Amino acid sequence: MSDSPPSLDPVQLGTYFDLIEVTSLLRHAVEQQLRETGDLSYVQFQLLARLGDSPTGSHRMTDLADGVVYSRSGLTYQAGLLEKAALVVRAPSSDDERSVTVTITDAGRTLLAKVLPGHIEVVRGLLFEPLSHDDVKALASLLAPVRDHMRSAPPRSAAPRRRKGDA
């Protein structure tokens, strides 16, 4: 199948390990803060944040699923939890009766506002404290192409159901 060298060079390997370690620790710390402060999981926070960022406070289920969650049923589950907590409202979309539009409520915005400062403080204290402004810029400029590459080359993850063309 392939005869390329089957290993990463030591720098790559160490970088990969550091990346995994750093984000695991960061994720863990942030999840704890979100749970304590707002009784939110990270996925739930991401959903609320996306809705809060939207000019309308709304998104279709599919758009949310494509960004945050990996399966549709998973999103239905999470949206159900958020709706039960009155942080979100679901309603049939006006233009496409199949779609469901999710909208953040005032309570959702309030909770988001309550949770955000601590969230940011954790991120700053853990991730950014040892980095200068120039370091952050450098990091950003390294991550951007990786992000774009990953977005453009869905390895074979995602594919919640079956996307566009497919054998």
Partner DNA sequence: TATTGTTATACTCTATAACTATA
Partner DNA sequence: TATAGTTATAGAGTATAACAATA
Angle formed at CA 120 by CA 67 and CA 38, multiple of 5 degrees: 75
Is 33 a binding residue for DNA by CB under 7 A? The answer is no
Angle formed at CA 155 by CA 151 and CA 158, multiple of 5 degrees: 75
In terms of CB distance, is 96 or 106 closer to DNA?
96
Is 155 a binding residue for its own copies by CB under 8 A? The answer is yes
- 3-class state of residue 102 by DSSP: strand
Minimum CB separation from its own copies for residue 117, in Å?
4
Q: 97 touches which of its own copies, DNA, none (CB within 5 to 8 A by kind)?
A: DNA
Size of site (CB under 7 A) for DNA? 30
In terms of CB distance, is 76 or 116 closer to DNA?
76
In terms of CB distance, is 56 or 141 closer to its own copies?
141
Q: 20 touches which of DNA, its own copies, none (CB within 5 to 8 A by kind)?
A: its own copies
Q: 77 touches which of its own copies, DNA, none (CB within 5 to 8 A by kind)?
A: DNA
Is 23 a binding residue for DNA by CB under 7 A? The answer is no
Asked if residue 108 lies in contact with residue 48, where contact means CB atoms within 8 angstroms, the answer is yes
**Phi–psi pair at 43, nearest 5 degrees:** -60, -45
**Phi–psi pair at 141, nearest 5 degrees:** -75, -20
Q: 107 touches which of DNA, its own copies, none (CB within 5 to 8 A by kind)?
A: none
Nearest to 8 by CA among 18, 112, 60, 57: 18
